[in-house]
């Protein structure tokens, strides 16, 4: 109970870190510019984080077995590594270098209590097996030796474990990234020139807007359809 109260008192935690980063990124996108190189790197990071997130979901057997295959052979908490990479892509896409530099500290501030609690639970559940695993595999950020296992990254993966919630989440991530790109386009060209008034220059901004809108709507409907199907099966 005390741990729950402490978590509720936390100013920044795992539950609100991404929302905080996105809000700051939105504001930053209207102030800071971004070049093509950083834009490409941002979407590359987002792709890597999304793939890592997707694969990990297909490997994890929650509360049943000690997962050590695939992404769990690279780090002990690949979900959190995926979140780290995805959030870093938003920070870079914002154009705000200060946010990007601060993010590692914000991440471990927000995730630190959760990591400690999960490590204690896993040690209590799996005992010596988890202790040995923790000595061999890094916690969140991969090291040279663990990266060498990337060839087996999909070991233990099953698409049956991929849920509609996971697909909705990944779709929303991409919608957020496209929206930040739209804001950069707005700040560079101005709203009037981007929309409606100059057909020749409207195309990029309008495309970003449509893509972002479609991805957010798709994310909503994927989750909605999943909940409807679950209720019917019940």
Residue pLDDT, tens place only, 88-107: 999 999 999 999 999 999 99
- First-to-last alpha carbon distance for the chain, in angstroms, is 32
**What mean pLDDT is predicted for residues 158-184?**
91
Q: How confident is the prediction for the chain on average, in pLDDT?
A: 83
Residue pLDDT, tens place only, 137-164: 999 999 877 777 788 899 889 998 898 8
Residue 226, pLDDT > 70, answer no
Q: Which backbone phi and psi does 107 adopt, to 5 degrees?
A: -60, -50
- C-alpha span between 202 and 192 (Å, rounded): 9
Residue 87, pLDDT > 50, answer yes
Instruction: State percent of the chain over pLDDT 70.
Output: 84
């Amino acid at each position: 109970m005390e741990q729950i109260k402490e978590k509720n008192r936390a100013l920044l935690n795992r539950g609100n870190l991404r929302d905080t980063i996105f809000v700051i990124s939105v504001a930053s996108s209207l102030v800071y510019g971004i070049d093509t190189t950083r834009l490409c790197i941002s979407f590359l990071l987002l792709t890597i984080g999304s793939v890592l997130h997707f694969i990990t979901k297909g490997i994890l057997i929650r509360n049943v077995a000690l997962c050590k295959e695939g992404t769990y052979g690279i780090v002990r908490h690949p979900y959190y590594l995926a979140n780290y990479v995805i959030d870093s892509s938003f920070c870079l896409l914002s154009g705000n270098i200060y946010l990007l530099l601060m993010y590692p500290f914000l991440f471990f501030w927000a995730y630190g209590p959760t990591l400690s609690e999960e490590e204690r639970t896993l040690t209590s559940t799996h005992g010596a097996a988890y202790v040995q695993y923790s000595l061999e595999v890094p916690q969140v950020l991969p090291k040279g030796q663990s990266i060498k296992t990337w060839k087996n990254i999909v070991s233990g993966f099953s698409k049956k474990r991929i849920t509609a919630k996971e697909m909705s989440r990944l779709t929303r991530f991409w919608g957020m990234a496209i929206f930040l790109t739209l804001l950069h386009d707005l700040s560079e060209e101005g709203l009037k020139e981007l929309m409606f008034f100059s057909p020749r220059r409207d195309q990029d901004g309008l495309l970003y807007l449509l893509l972002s809108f479609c991805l957010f709507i798709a994310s909503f409907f994927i989750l909605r359809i999943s909940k409807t199907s679950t209720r019917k099966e019940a």
